[in-house]
Chain A
Amino acid sequence: MPRRPRTAKKLAQRIELSYFKQPQPLRRWRFILSIAFPAVAVLWLVVAGFAKNRAPYSMGPLSAPHAFFAQKCSACHVADTVSFRHPVTDQACVACHDGPIHHADQKFTPSCSSCHVEHQGRISLIAVRNASCTQCHSDLSTRAGAPHFVRTVLSFARHPEFAPLRDNSSDPDSIKFNHQVHLAANLLGPDGRRVNLACDDCHRPGTPRGSWPYGAPGVEAVTFSGGAQYASPPTAMPSSFHPTTAMQKRAELAYMAPPTYANTCFSCHALQFDARFADAVPHDKPEIVHAFLAQKYQDYIAAHPSALHEVFAPPRLPGKPIPVSPRAVTSGQWVAEQVTAAEDLLWRKTCAECHTLNFSGGNSLPTIAPSRITTRWLPHAVFSHDAHRMVSCVSCHASVASSQLTSDVNLPSVRVCQECHATRASAAPAGCFECHTYHDWSQEKVYPGKFSLPDLLKSSRNSVAHPPVAAIIQR
């Protein structure tokens, strides 16, 4: 029988009525820690504040070009005079570099920071998300009315076909050229040799190394700046490359230099004009050729006055000699004759092999249409052959092997690009920015630097030496 009776009253009377008001260890510690932890947290920030260390508030490390003034928040976060906010204004960016707008008729101009997001670590600021572009290009419209470009481009995977390949465009080149013939095997080459032409015998980017195999001797690099003037400053590089000066050089290798007669056609297609002369006519304007011819013949007749009396006997039937009448021509006449004959040959045969000559206008000399070799087929995109140098030419330019007409556009289709460039993790990058630029760099203004080093490196908020941003912008 339990002799320690437990009744409700006995149990209750054991308890002190105000027990819950007495200090209890668990509650006390909770209270203490509830003061201590926030205090430590705030203290950390206060200490950082006193040390003028802005690092805690930074939302992430800055990109490499901006990292050195990471402590100077006000360089980008401009202190407005009255409002509480210190937003990143376009003027802050523009204090150092320009960013011309895309197009005069664009509906709205997004702010710099809406596309170029800082505080994401050591990334390239140019590597803008597709969404920045598609905010307009998903349904393109301009202030001036309908756009000239495809209305909807959402991603590279659904990139429309390149314009030169659409709409039955054709190569406006006026040089008659048949790739298929030239790529055939065992072509008759210079000096009677049989040659097999490779793509890079004629097509080389920018500043080539080495001499042209089929070029005129002594003709080295044509100073072709390649695509450098077309390519944007270093940013034409894919995002994974960090532009360096070495790489800037390679920007020149982006585009193929347009093949010139001197570089590529010379050795096979000699411009002989007269059996008496071994040299060829200069590959130049008709006037120059004419003058050359005239000079040549004049020199010849001066050296060989007897030629005046030479008659070119036309081939005649056997057994019947043709009386050769001595000609009484002056040297001038003779020259003119010869020149005409030579020009006849040239204009009608030699030059017309490749060029289209126009004899209108009553001039004796034809006009030759400019060659109009397109070096940059996609003016609104940036492409670098150098970046693709590991790929064989024909694997992209597959249509060349069967291209017979000059008007054939042998630009690879966008689908060829899409084979490698996709949004898969194991694909080549396919962001809009890889090929296209937003800023119209032709309008770029260049600023002289206005900041002193202490200015940039000081991390105080309103340093007196820092000139107002507005003053910098006014030029």
Chain B
Amino acid sequence: MSPALVELTIDGDKVSVPEGTTVFDAARLNNIRIPTLCHQQNEVPVGVCRVCVVDVGGRVLTASCVRPVENGMVVSTTSEKVRSARRTLVELLMSDHPSPCARQQQSGDCELEVMARAEGVENPRFARRATSRGRDDSSVAIAVDHDACILCDRCIRGCDEIRHNDVLGRMGKGYRTGIAFDQNLPMGNSSCVSCGECMISCPTGALTNKFHVGTSLRTGEPASPEVLHELPVFAGVSGTFLELNRGAIVVRHFRPGEIICREGEYGSTAFYMLEGRAQVSINAQMGHVKTEGGARGFFSKLSSRLARGTEDHRDEESVRRTIPIDGPADLPLEKPVAELGPGDLFGEMTCMSFYPRSATVRATTDVTSLEMLRNVLDILQRNKNFRGQIEENYRRRALDSHLRSVPVFSGLTTSFINHLRDKVELVRYSPGQVICRQGEPADSFYLVRIGFVKVWQAHPGGEMILAYLGRGGYFGEIGLLGGGVRTASCTALDHVEVVRIAAEDFHFMLDKFPEIRHSLESVALERQRENRERLALVESTPLQDFLAQGLMEAQSLLILDLERCTRCDACVRACADAHDGVTRLIREGLRFDKYLVATSCRQCRDPLCMVGCPVGSIRRRNSLEVIIEDWCIGCGLCAKNCPYGNINMHPFPVQIADADSLGRTRAVMKQKATSCDLCTEHAEPSCVYACPHDAAHRVDPRKCFGALLAQSKRD
């Protein structure tokens, strides 16, 4: 049965429309334009802006976008009353509007300002509001300028009704009213998926597209949204957004053998493989022992026998047999080569946090891949389809080895791991977000997929960093047993994605495999014991005494007694001899009392150098020395981070596969980070061993200077 028709008069014209039509639509159907701000065709009208008010003969003017028609209604849209009201409204709105707003600047089509010009109210009489409502630049793609917001709620409706993301809402009262993302989080930290619907809904410059520097990639052909939408992973990504960011994602073609990206280079893009296969590898491998043949080899073997130290036990210490890289799979330690295929995304950390490339990717067949900038990657990462595929990749290729590298899980059977694998959840965190807090009930176990987290404890003297964890790092084993509390807090340092295993799931597993409960409990006990020790140590020390030079941050200092030192450089030469010809200590630095604090790794409590290593090659060992593994790719981040200049970059000759003649290798010079490793394979550090005048000492600063300080404090 067809709806009943209603007859009414609009501006003297008789119109007949179905029942339930709004006055606005009725006018529109009869080619009578009524200006609106908060009304958008594809959204449920709310009537908040009142610009569309018309005179229907009532006591007050009515908002035409929400008023349903009635029989015999007489509507006037252009009467003097209406026009004056409209004009005043616009003037009022313009009085708080930061004219020209971003949209007006970018495209000149801020609806409010256009309307204002049409109404002739470009210079409002009313004073601007005193306080600014602020800007929100946290989102990668969309800039939020609350001052330009007219609270039309178009964005809210677009997010809720059209996109069903339910991110936006209203908050506040009175002058503090505004739109909010989630619980008034910054847009970039919210659950906003950057689809861009709010942006294209916004009439003003409150929500505008952010244009990045270099937003167009120069190489490759820009991928059009139509092409992209053909890919299943792009299903659900806002076409408008893709259109607006055309140029930020391009299609690249590579011939077999061509290098797609090189380890150690800085970049800002991520790659998504569409077709073809590529080899990902680390070419900076250096062997621990160099044995050459012939007389040189004989003498160097003799020499190494004389320079004997204990066997290098690094390998046995760490259970992990893989090098973590910024890609879907980790590289095995012995032969750091893996293969990438269609559907693999690599370079996430480079793209999002501008870390250097962690490995070299070389096409083995013809390769077609997408290269994208951060804004696009951000959108993709929030897209459920895309995320699903990435998660699946991770589960399949890397999660197993990550889980096994956790000592607690290392002895687990494959079936257990398989069970566990399906129970994990991938959770994303933004920079600065707290993942878990000290003192909270521990209910889950975390494994880092990408990004860096800081594990720290709060102490009276300040924060004490326990570790910086990168890809493959884990924390919170205590949470698996349940019933305990977190002994430390964990914060995301950059864009972090963690694998979370909830305790309930784990308990289920424990029931099936009771044998690992014992090892977990012992781990928990161990952690608690360490924690108690650490607390005791920290509380007993006047931390503030050494802050000036940061000496208390150090767990081990190399000090040179200047009253004995004859400046003969024997220590430096010995260090260089023991470390491939590059000295790990410099006889320069600040003095403390009669000692020179040499520039050599201090094994800091808060190892700032460890933050950001793209391949996790700088790690802490036995809680003391910081070592740099052989696969360091020479990006130099750790050297930049070290506040004392203890890490230096130095070129080393490395054999890499010769691109020109296959099967052969040639030597190139590669930069690698070098740092003091306390000569742990010997009983005594080489520098101390080689000083003829007993002037070089490796000391624990608290024990060594503690007495001195206590003395001076008393004096």
Contact = CB atoms under 8 A, between A and B. Distances in A.
Interface stretch (A7-15, A91-99, A309-317, A394-402): A7-15
A11 B583 contact: no
Given A12-B599, A17-B582, A20-B572, A6 B645 contact: no
A12 B573 CA distance: 17
Interface string B638-673: 000011111010100000000000000000000000
Contacts of A8: 549, 589-590, 597, 599, 643-645
Contacts of A10: 645
A11 B646 CA distance: 11
A17 B586 contact: yes
A21 B586 CA distance: 13
Contacts of B583: 17-18, 20
Contacts of A9: 599, 642-645
Given A8-B644, A9-B645, A10-B645, 5 more contacts: A6-B590, A12-B588, A15-B586, A17-B583, A17-B648
Residue picked from A11, A14, A17, A21, most chain B C-beta under 10 Å: A17
A239 B549 CA distance: 82
Interface string B547-578: 00100000000000000000001001100100
Contacts of A12: 586, 588-589, 599, 644-646
Interface of B: 549, 569, 572-573, 576, 581-583, 586, 588-590, 597, 599, 642-646, 648, 650
- Chain A interface size, as a band, is 10 to 19
Contact of B590 (A11, A15, A17, A18): A11
Interface residues of A, dominant DSSP: helix
A20 B573 CA distance: 7
B576 A20 contact: yes
A20 to B, nearest CB: 5
B576 A11 contact: no
A298 to B, nearest CB: 115
Interface residues of B, dominant DSSP: loop
A13 B645 contact: yes
Contacts of B569: 20
B588 A15 contact: yes
Interface of A: 6-15, 17-18, 20-21
Given A9-B644, A9-B645, A11-B599, A17 B650 contact: yes
B607 to A, nearest CB: 15
Given A9-B642, A9-B644, A20-B583, A14 B573 contact: no
Contacts of B646: 12
Nearest to B649: A17
Contacts of B586: 12, 15, 17
> What 4 A-B pairs come out closest when comparing CB atoms?
A9-B645, A12-B599, A12-B645, A8-B644
Given A13-B645, A17-B582, A20-B583, A7 B650 contact: no
B590 A7 contact: yes
A11 B589 contact: yes
A18 B576 CA distance: 9
Residue picked from A8, A18, A21, most chain B C-beta under 10 Å: A8
A433 to B, nearest CB: 54
A7 B589 CA distance: 7
Contacts of A17: 582-583, 586, 648, 650
Contacts of A7: 590, 643-644
Nearest to B587: A15
A12 B645 CA distance: 6
A13 B640 CA distance: 11
Contacts of B581: 21
Contacts of A11: 588-590, 599, 645
A112 B488 CA distance: 94
Contacts of A14: 588
A207 to B, nearest CB: 78
A18 B642 CA distance: 20
27 contacts: A6-B590, A7-B590, A7-B644, A8-B549, A8-B589, A8-B599, A8-B643, A8-B644, A8-B645, A9-B599, A9-B642, A9-B643, A9-B645, A11-B589, A11-B645, A12-B599, A12-B645, A14-B588, A15-B586, A17-B583, A17-B586, A18-B582, A18-B583, A20-B569, A20-B573, A20-B583, A21-B576
A39 to B, nearest CB: 26
B72 to A, nearest CB: 85
A18 B573 CA distance: 10
Nearest to A14: B588
A169 B576 CA distance: 90
Nearest to A24: B569
Nearest to B572: A20
A17 B642 CA distance: 16
Contacts of B643: 7-9
A52 B261 CA distance: 77
A375 to B, nearest CB: 77
B605 to A, nearest CB: 17
Contacts of A13: 645
A14 B589 CA distance: 10
A13 B599 CA distance: 10
A7 B646 CA distance: 12
Residue picked from A6, A10, A20, most chain B C-beta under 10 Å: A20
A11 B596 CA distance: 12
Contacts of A15: 586, 588
A9 B646 CA distance: 8
Nearest to A16: B586
Contacts of B648: 17
Nearest to B582: A17
Contacts of B589: 8, 11-12
A13 B581 CA distance: 19
A17 B651 CA distance: 11
Nearest to B642: A9
Nearest to B550: A8
Contacts of B549: 8
Residue picked from B549, B573, B589, B646, most chain A C-beta under 10 Å: B589
Contacts of A18: 582-583
A20 B585 CA distance: 12
Contacts of A6: 590
Nearest to B600: A12
A168 B642 CA distance: 106
Contacts of B572: 20
Contacts of B576: 20-21
A18 B569 CA distance: 12
Contacts of B645: 8-13
Contacts of A21: 576, 581
A11 to B, nearest CB: 5
A18 B579 CA distance: 13
A6 B644 CA distance: 11
Nearest to A6: B590
A15 B588 CA distance: 8
Contacts of B642: 9
A15 B583 CA distance: 12
Nearest to B646: A12
Residue picked from A12, A20, A21, most chain B C-beta under 10 Å: A12
A311 B588 CA distance: 142
Contacts of A20: 569, 572-573, 576, 583
A9 B597 CA distance: 12
A17 B569 CA distance: 13
A13 B648 CA distance: 9
A14 B586 CA distance: 10
A43 B588 CA distance: 44
A12 B602 CA distance: 14
Nearest to A17: B648
A315 B644 CA distance: 149
A202 B588 CA distance: 101
B548 to A, nearest CB: 11
A12 B644 CA distance: 8
B215 to A, nearest CB: 36
A18 B652 CA distance: 13
B282 to A, nearest CB: 24
A9 B590 CA distance: 9
